[in-house]
Amino acid sequence: MSDIRSIDDINARIKSGDVVVVTALEMKDIVAEKGPEKAAKEVDVVTTATFGMTTSSGAFLNFGHSDPQIKMGGGEILLNDVPAYAGLGSVDAYLGVTQLSKAHKIEYGGGHVIEDLVGGKSISLKAYGSSTQCHPTREIKGEFTINDLNQAIMVNPRSFYQRYSAATNSSDKVICTYLGELLPNFGNVAYFSTGSMSPLYNDPTYETIGIGTRIFLGGGVGYVIGEGTQHSPKAMSGSLMVKGDMKKMKQRYLRGASIKNYGTALFVGGGLPIPVLNSNIAKNCGVTDEEIKVNIYDYHIPTRVKPLVKKTNYKELKSGKVVIGEREVKSSGLSSIKIATEICEKMKEMIEKGEFFLTNPVERITLESVTKPMKLLYVKASDVMSPAVTCSPEDSLKDVAKLMLEKKQDYMVAVDKQKRLQGVLTSWDVTKSIVTGKTKVKDVMTLQNVKTSRKDEPIEVSVRKLEQYGVRGLPVVDDDGKVLGVVKMRDVTYKVKG
Amino acid sequence: MSKRILVLFPNKGYKESLLHEIMLKSGTVFNTINTEVTPTHTKIMGEIKGDEEKAGEFMRILKRRGGIVRELDVMMKFDQAKCVSCGMCVSLCPTKAILYNKDFSVKFDFNECILCMRCVENCPVNAVSYLGD
C-alpha cells in the first residue's frame, strides 16, 4: 500500500496548525460513512486511549546519596511501608504496583505510593543496607516528595494490553478475582479494556507503532520502548513496554487500586496517536466494538484453561447486559471508557495546539512472539490415573458384576465402540439393581453430569473435584471424549505415599 | 417520589401499629423492605412514598415517637472526584442504585439502595463509603 503522507508531513502540519486530528470514536463514524480511502485523505491522526487497571507497572526511583553514604542496593527499601526492589545500585529502587504494604496489606500498595508521589505527597523512606568501607551507613529514615528525587521514571513492562477475556461464575459461591467479585449463579460479568478505542486494536499489525513512538502516559509524555511482556500479536493479544517521566504526570491518570481479596494495582491512563499514513491504517482504525470478539470464561474453575461460557463482543459487553442462556446478566468493565474518552480528547487538543508531535519509530515491534504457559514440575492426572476397566452400556449387569469381582473393581466406565465415555457404574449401582430388578448397565449407570478430568490437569484440581462432588473416580477423557484412564482417590494417596 | 430511610427503635420502643398510625397522620405510604429485630433494637428499612413535605412529616413524627431516622442518600456517600468510572460496582449492584450515564460515568441513586455494601467493599479507589448507622 503506498503511503499518502509521512509522519514528517504530519509534523509539518502540526507546526502550521493545519493538522486534522480525530478521536478513535470519531474515526469509526468517518470510516463507516465515507470509507477508508476518503477517511485517509481527510484525517492525519487518530487518537486512541485506555484507562485500565494494570499490574505490570512500576517506577525506577533514584534517591541521591546520603552523607555518609548508604548501600541500599542488595539491602531493603521501604516506601510508606511498601517494599521496593533493592537489587540495583546503591540508591536506586524499582517500585512495583502490586507490592503490598507490610502493615496495611491490600489496602495500600505500590500503586498507591505511585499515586501519592505523583500527587505531590510526602513519602516516608526506610532503608537498610550492609555497611561497607565506602558506604558505612547501615540504616536511614527519611521523607521525600517526587521533587526531591533525581529520577522518577515510570517503566511499565506490560501496557496497552490488547486482549482480555471476560469473566463470570457458574458456582453457588462468591469468588474474588482480579476482575473483582464474581457473584454466584452467573450473577454478573466483568471485563477489561476499552474495546475499539483501545490503541492496539486500531493498529493490530503495528504498522505505525514501534520503539520510540511518543505516547501519552499518566498525564505526561512517554515512549514505547519495545514489546511488552506476554506480547502475542498473532492472537490479537499484544502489549507494549513503555516509559515516561513521572515528574510530569498527573494523579488523575494514575490511581492506586485495591481489589478485594486479590491485591493492589495501578489504574494507568495511556494514549497512543496513530498517524494515518494510508487507507489500510484508516481501515484498521475503523474497527468497531461489534467486530472485537471476547470470550466469557467461567472463573470458578481455578485452572489456567477455563470453561468457555459464551463468545461475545464489546458491543454486547458495553451495553451493560449479556445474555447467557435464558437470562440477562449485568456486565460492567474495569477500564474506564469515560477517562479513556477524555484522554483521546486531550491528546487531540495537544496535537492541534502543537504541544505534541509524532515520532518515527526506530524499530518495529515483533509480530512473531507467542505467549507460552509456565513450565512447571507438577503431578498431572495422567501421572496417577489407572487404566479404566470398561464395559458397554448394553452389557448385562450380571456379566459386568462378574468382571468387577474378577478385576477387583468397584468403579467401571461404560464406553461406546470408539471408547468414548457413555457413563459410569459403581458397585453401589449394582447393589441398587438387585433391588430394582434392572438387568442392563445402561439402566443403572450414571449418565448425566459425569465429572471428568483431563490428562494434563494438575492433580490438585482432580482431588478438589473428587472431594467437591463426592465421587469415587473421575474418568480422564481427551478432546473427543475418549476415555484414557480413571483417577481415583486411592491412586492419589498411593502416589503421594510413594 | 420515594425516599429510602432506615429507622432504629432502641429497646422496646417499636410497636407494629406505629408505622400505620404515622402513615395515616402524614398521608404517606411506607413500604417496609427489611426488618431486623434484636434484643436491643428494632431496625426497619423502608421507602416512603409521597411528596417531599409529607415524607418530611413522616420522619418528624417518627423521631417524636422515639425512632432514630437515617436517610440513605445521606448515609451512603459517593465521592465523584475519587471515582475513576471503572464500573466495577455497576454489575455488582443488585438494584438500580448504580448505573452508567451515557458517557460511561457512574451515577448513584441511593433511594434505590438496599445497603448490601457490595459497592463499598469492592470499589478499588474507595469512592463509595457508608457513614454508619
Question: Which residue of B85, B88, B91, B102 to mutate against A (max A Cβ within 10 Å)?
Answer: B91
Name the nearest CA neighbour of A293 among A373, A207, A191: A191
Residues 6 or more apart in contact with residue A389 via CB below 8 angstroms: A403, A404, A407, A409, A411, A412, A413
Residues 6 or more apart in contact with residue B17 via CB below 8 angstroms: none
Q: Check CB contact under 8 Å for A260 and B121.
A: yes
Tens digit of each residue's pLDDT (9 = 90 or more) over B119-128: 999 999 999 9
Stretch 45-84 of chain A: residues touching chain B, C-beta under 8 Å: 51-53
Q: Which residue of B has its CA nearest to A167?
A: B91
Tens digit of each residue's pLDDT (9 = 90 or more) over B17-28: 888 899 999 889
Residues 6 or more apart in contact with residue A225 via CB below 8 angstroms: A155, A211, A241, A242, A243
Q: Check CB contact under 8 Å for A267 and B86.
A: yes
d(CA A111, CA A265): 5
Give A322 to chain B, closest Cα distance, Å.
11
Q: Check CB contact under 8 Å for B124 and A259.
A: yes
> In this structure, what C-alpha cell is assigned to residue A172?
453457588
Q: A332 touching B, CB under 8 A?
A: yes
Give A39 to chain B, closest Cα distance, Å.
25
Q: What local confidence, expressed as pLDDT, does residue A491 receive?
A: 77
The ipTM estimated for the assembled molecules is 0.77
Give B100 to chain A, closest Cα distance, Å.
8
- Catalytic site includes residue A134: yes
Cα separation values, A416 from A68, A255, A420, A475, B100, Å: 80, 57, 5, 14, 52
Q: What local confidence, expressed as pLDDT, does residue A186 receive?
A: 94
Question: Which residue of B82, B83, B84 to mutate against A (max A Cβ within 10 Å)?
Answer: B84
Q: Are A344 and A25 in contact (CB under 8 A)?
A: yes
Q: What local confidence, expressed as pLDDT, does residue A142 receive?
A: 93
Which residues of chain B are within 8 Å of residue A190 when distances are taken between CB atoms? 88, 91
Determine which helix (DSSP H) or strand (DSSP E) holds B130, and give its type and residue range: strand B128-130
- State the CB neighbour count (10 A cutoff) for residue A432: 13
Give the nearest partner residue to B90 out of A53, A258, A332, using CB atoms: A332
Give the nearest partner residue to B122 out of A180, A320, A331, using CB atoms: A180
Which residues of chain B are within 8 Å of residue A51 when distances are taken between CB atoms? 84
Residues 6 or more apart in contact with residue A410 via CB below 8 angstroms: A404, A426, A427, A472
Amino acid at the residue B104: F
Which residues of chain A are within 8 Å of residue B92 when distances are taken between CB atoms? 180-181, 183, 188, 332
Q: A256 touching B, CB under 8 A?
A: yes
Averaged pLDDT in 10-residue chunks for chain A of 498 residues: 92 97 97 97 97 96 91 94 96 97 92 98 95 88 96 97 90 89 94 93 96 98 97 92 98 96 96 97 97 93 82 94 93 93 98 97 90 77 88 90 88 90 89 88 83 85 84 88 88 70
Q: Check CB contact under 8 Å for A338 and B89.
A: no
Give A335 to chain B, closest Cα distance, Å.
5
Q: What local confidence, expressed as pLDDT, does residue B51 receive?
A: 87
Give B48 to chain A, closest Cα distance, Å.
28
Q: Check CB contact under 8 Å for A188 and B91.
A: yes
Which residues of chain B are within 8 Å of residue A181 when distances are taken between CB atoms? 92, 118, 121-122
> In this structure, what C-alpha cell is assigned to residue A125?
523512606
Determine which helix (DSSP H) or strand (DSSP E) holds A112, and give its type and residue range: helix A110-118
Q: Check CB contact under 8 Å for A190 and B91.
A: yes
Give the nearest partner residue to A330 out of B91, B104, B124, using CB atoms: B91
Q: A345 touching B, CB under 8 A?
A: no
Q: Count Cβ–Cβ pairs < 8 Å, chain A vs chain B.
A: 71
Which residues of chain A are within 8 Å of residue B124 when distances are taken between CB atoms? 53, 180, 257-259, 265, 267
Give the nearest partner residue to B124 out of A257, A331, A341, using CB atoms: A257
In the predicted structure, residue B9 carries a pLDDT above the cut 90: no
Q: Are B89 and B128 in contact (CB under 8 A)?
A: yes
Question: Quick one: average pLDDT of B80-103?
Answer: 94
Name the nearest CA neighbour of B126 among A256, A219, A445, A452: A256
Q: Check CB contact under 8 Å for A332 and B91.
A: yes
Question: Which residue of B90, B100, B104, B107 to mutate against A (max A Cβ within 10 Å)?
Answer: B104
Q: What local confidence, expressed as pLDDT, does residue A372 receive?
A: 80
Give A353 to chain B, closest Cα distance, Å.
25
Which residues of chain A are within 8 Å of residue B96 when distances are taken between CB atoms? none
Q: Check CB contact under 8 Å for A181 and B118.
A: yes
Residues 6 or more apart in contact with residue B15 via CB below 8 angstroms: none
d(CA A394, CA A402): 15
| Residue owning grid cell 531493603 | A76
Q: Check CB contact under 8 Å for A53 and B104.
A: no
